[in-house]
């Protein structure tokens, strides 16, 4: 049995060799072994991670405060403020123009200069401690007025957000003060209603370093309402919204049942300090038969009680 099997295998391989020879190919026994060559496998595309901090691309400006350190050479460590001409002064290296450079570029320049003359393979680190040259002031009716760093591109709404958002009692526009190239300060008004409530993207303008964003608070005037009204009190109303007698009484909750509406008094202090008194028929005003007078700041409205 074993002999028959060996003969059969021999015939199979022999026949295969013959066919291969006729076709001009080598037999399987004569073929060279396949050599597997190690090749680097193409890596999958790398997706960017979270956006890097704007500080990595920040370009140093005048009056910025820099902390410069050289590893293992403490004598060269220093904190220095960039001069108005955009330069700093370092031990051994003298004056360097740094305005407009990123911190990485400045690290490379300092390392190169030190390596050429003084330190072997220096490890330089630059840290921007104060971003004085890229600040924007936000003032007025915001929750946290102050100067804020501008790192990267910023819009008007982003800067207001940094300042804690808008406060109460704001006016109808925001004003951006910007220093022009000719030295003249430019005044840029922005319609607040269209920007915030109308969500007009064209008004969310890009701000520039050293801009001043001013959010005016609405100016208010005081009106005193007393006597036979439901809520006698001092009321503050926007100056740019005229307040009439009827509106002031409505703010105070309206008159009571005992109000003498025919004898409403308005007491006013004139610019010269003198006091005048007007008597107004509120009933006629309510019926549209008399003019509803506009009140002045600090007017006192007195609604007397009727005696039955």
pLDDT of residue 29: 43
Same domain, 176 and 162: yes
Secondary structure (3-state) at 272: coil
Q: What is the residue-level pLDDT of the chain in tens, covering all 308 positions?
A: 434 433 333 433 344 444 344 444 444 444 443 332 333 333 333 322 222 334 456 788 888 899 999 998 888 899 999 998 999 999 889 999 999 899 999 999 999 999 998 888 999 999 988 887 788 999 998 999 998 887 778 899 999 999 999 887 788 889 999 987 787 889 999 998 898 888 888 999 989 888 999 999 888 888 999 999 999 999 888 877 888 999 999 999 999 999 999 999 999 998 888 999 999 999 999 999 999 999 998 999 999 998 75
Structure tokens at 176: 């951006």
25, part of any domain:
no
91 Cβ partners below 8 Å, 6+ apart?
Answer: 75, 76, 78
160, part of any domain:
yes
CATH of the domain at 100: 3.30.1950.10
For residue 282, which of 292, 296, 297, 273 has the smallest C-alpha distance?
292
2, part of any domain:
no
pLDDT of residue 56: 56
pLDDT of residue 252: 93
pLDDT of residue 129: 87
248, part of any domain:
yes
pLDDT of residue 138: 94
pLDDT of residue 10: 41
Same domain, 146 and 110: no
pLDDT of residue 232: 93
Same domain, 140 and 199: yes
Whole-angstrom distance, CA of residue 110 vs CA of residue 134: 23
Same domain, 151 and 208: yes
Sheet with 233-238, edge to edge strand ranges: 233-238, 220-227, 299-303, 264-269, 275-280
H/E stretch holding 277 reads strand 275-280
Same domain, 258 and 275: yes
Looking at 154, 188, 215, which one is the last position of a domain?
215
Whole-angstrom distance, CA of residue 201 vs CA of residue 188: 16
HSE-CB of 297 using CA atoms within 13 angstroms: 7
pLDDT of residue 273: 85
pLDDT of residue 174: 92
206 Cβ partners below 8 Å, 6+ apart?
Answer: 153, 154, 155, 156
Same domain, 176 and 155: yes
Note the Cα 143 to chain centre separation in Å: 14
CATH of the domain at 175: 3.10.560.10
Structure tokens at 115: 């390596």
Same domain, 188 and 235: no
193 touches 246 (CB < 8 A):
no
83 Cβ partners below 8 Å, 6+ apart?
Answer: 62
Looking at 191, 215, 239, which one is the last position of a domain?
215
303 touches 281 (CB < 8 A):
no
Same domain, 117 and 151: no
Same domain, 293 and 226: yes
- Quote the DSSP letter at residue 76: G
123, part of any domain:
yes
Whole-angstrom distance, CA of residue 20 vs CA of residue 219: 103
- Domain total in the chain: 3
Whole-angstrom distance, CA of residue 115 vs CA of residue 79: 21
Please state whether the predicted TM-score (pTM) of the whole model is above 0.85.
no
Counting runs of H as helices and runs of E as strands, what totals does the chain give? 6, 15
| Full domain range(s) for residue 224 | 220-303
Looking at 130, 161, 195, which one is the last position of a domain?
130
Whole-angstrom distance, CA of residue 192 vs CA of residue 214: 12
174, part of any domain:
yes
């Amino acid at each position: 049995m074993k002999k028959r099997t060996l003969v059969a295998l021999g015939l199979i391989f022999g026949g295969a060799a013959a066919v291969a020879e006729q076709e001009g190919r080598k037999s399987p026994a004569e073929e060279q072994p396949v050599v597997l060559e190690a090749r680097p496998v193409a890596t999958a595309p790398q997706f960017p991670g979270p956006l890097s901090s704007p500080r990595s691309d920040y370009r140093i400006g005048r009056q910025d405060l820099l902390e410069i350190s050289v590893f293992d050479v403490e004598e060269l460590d220093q904190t220095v403020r960039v001069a108005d001409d955009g330069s700093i002064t370092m031990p051994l290296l003298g004056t360097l123009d740094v305005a407009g450079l990123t911190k990485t570029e400045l690290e490379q320049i300092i390392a190169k200069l030190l390596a050429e003359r003084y330190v072997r393979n220096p490890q330089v680190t630059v840290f921007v401690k104060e971003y004085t040259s890229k600040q924007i002031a936000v003032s007025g009716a915001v929750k946290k007025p102050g100067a804020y760093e501008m790192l990267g591109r910023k819009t008007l709404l982003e800067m207001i957000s940094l300042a804690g958002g808008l406060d109460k009692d704001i006016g109808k526009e925001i004003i951006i003060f910007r220093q022009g190239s000719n030295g003249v300060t430019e005044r840029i008004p922005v319609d607040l209603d269209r920007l915030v409530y109308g969500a007009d993207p064209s008004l969310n303008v890009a701000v520039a370093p050293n801009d001043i964003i001013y959010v005016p608070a609405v100016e208010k005037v005081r009106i005193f309402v007393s006597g036979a009204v439901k809520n006698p009190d001092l009321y503050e109303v926007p100056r740019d919204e005229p307040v009439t007698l009827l509106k002031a009484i409505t703010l105070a909750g309206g008159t009571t049942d005992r109000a003498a509406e025919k004898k409403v008094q308005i007491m006013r202090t004139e610019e010269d300090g003198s006091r005048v008194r007007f008597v107004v028929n509120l009933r006629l005003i309510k019926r549209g038969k008399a003019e509803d007078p506009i009140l002045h700041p600090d007017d006192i409205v007195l609604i007397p009680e009727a005696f039955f």
